[in-house]
């Protein structure tokens, strides 16, 4: 989708610029941590959902990525689609 800069429903990784190029991984279906890349680990893969306009985790497909405090926090987490908002 040209409006958002994502390929629709294609898995991707969120890679850190820190040394060792670690990736964002969803753990426990609520927190996102930076871990080493592991080939084909679903918890490290994300996809863009064009209908809801959110980023979903490939391991927990009913959870979406969000920034707490209405987008004002420095961390990321995943939560159920009921509480997802566009800031």
DSSP string, 23-66: EEEEETTTEEEEE---TT-GGG-EEEETTTTEEEESSSTTEEEE
pTM of the model: 0.81
pLDDT of residue 36: 93
63-83 tens-digit pLDDT:
888 887 777 787 888 888 655
Return the top range by mean pLDDT from 25-29, 38-42, 72-76.
38-42
Q: Half-sphere exposure (CA, 13 Å, Cβ side) for 28?
A: 5
In a domain, 4, yes or no: no
Question: What are the structure tokens assigned to 67, written together?
Answer: 């920034």
The band of 49, judged by pLDDT with boundaries at 50, 70 and 90, is confident
In a domain, 27, yes or no: yes
In a domain, 58, yes or no: yes
In a domain, 53, yes or no: yes
CA–CA separation, 11 vs 25, rounded Å? 13
In a domain, 2, yes or no: no
CA–CA separation, 85 vs 53, rounded Å? 10
In a domain, 63, yes or no: yes
β-partners of residue 11 are: none
What is the domain range of residue 62?
A: 23-83
In a domain, 47, yes or no: yes
Give me the number of domains the chain comprises: 1
In a domain, 5, yes or no: no
């Amino acid at each position: 989708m040209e409006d958002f800069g994502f390929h629709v429903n294609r898995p991707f990784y969120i890679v850190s610029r820190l040394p060792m190029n670690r990736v964002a991984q969803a753990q426990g279906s609520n927190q996102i941590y930076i871990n080493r890349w592991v080939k084909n680990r679903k918890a490290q893969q994300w996809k863009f959902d064009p209908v809801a306009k959110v980023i979903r985790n490939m391991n927990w497909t009913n959870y979406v990525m969000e920034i707490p405090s209405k987008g004002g926090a420095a961390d990321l987490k995943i939560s159920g689609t009921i509480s997802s908002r566009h800031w």
